[in-house]
Amino acid sequence: MTQDLDEVESEERIFVSIGHLLEYPRKVSIATLATAIERKGISGWDRFGRFMSCKVDDPKDDKKMVSEALDHLAYLLNWESEYHPNEQSPIDLWDGSFTSPLNMGWYADESPDFAVIATESKGQAKRPTKQRSPRAETTDLNIIAVLVQVLLSKQVYKSEAKLIEDLLTLGYGDYAGISQRTLEKRFAAAKISLLQ
């Protein structure tokens, strides 16, 4: 289905892009987005500025937009699984071109139920992760230790306990690895790492 850009704008419907869903803090995982695209298709603008909806199960639809969206997600997932200390995230490099993930997505009232898709995916086997090098682990621990020391020395926080409490109450406790126990263990390991 193709629409002119003027028709889309006059409807004043909210368009939720893949780029928006992947911004920090991330609202939906890459795997959930890929599953949503494979099941429901995707909408967006083609290279001529025409708004199109591409349904996966419709044999008449050109699957190019679905393929491009999945390629962007696969590239981002591979990039995130490696250590890139001095490179910008692919998300930061996405421009406003019509084929950018910033221009692919769904109308808010037609978007997939990401919570249901994520719940269905929980039981599936996890992708094996690459082993981190000891050097990368030491670097991360040293960075954590220095940041905590700066926050404490500048009296932004009076104690590590208060810092951890704020991290959890400000909503960061919803992210993987951000729990009181994990933070206490990582902060302790970071102090030891910095002393070595």
* Residue 181: inside a domain: yes
Do 116 and 141 belong together in one domain? no
Is 47 found in the same domain as 71?
yes
Tokens of 54: 């591409």
Domain that holds residue 54: 2-121
Q: How many domains does the chain have?
A: 2
- Measure the CA–CA gap between 94 and 92, rounded to whole angstroms: 6
Written as tens digits, the pLDDT of the chain (196 aa) is 445 444 444 457 888 888 888 876 777 888 889 999 888 888 888 778 888 888 777 666 667 778 888 888 888 888 777 766 667 777 777 766 666 788 889 888 888 888 888 888 666 655 566 677 888 888 889 999 999 999 999 988 899 999 998 888 888 877 777 888 888 999 999 999 888 8
Considering the domain architecture, whether residues 80 and 117 belong to the same structural domain is answered as yes
Which long-range contacts link 47-55 to residues 24+ away (Cβ below 8 Å)?
A: 47/97, 47/98, 47/99, 48/98, 49/5, 49/98, 50/2, 50/3, 50/4, 50/5, 51/2, 51/3, 51/4, 51/5, 51/7, 51/8, 52/1, 52/2, 52/3, 53/1
Residue 127 lies in a domain: no
Same domain, 8 and 68: yes
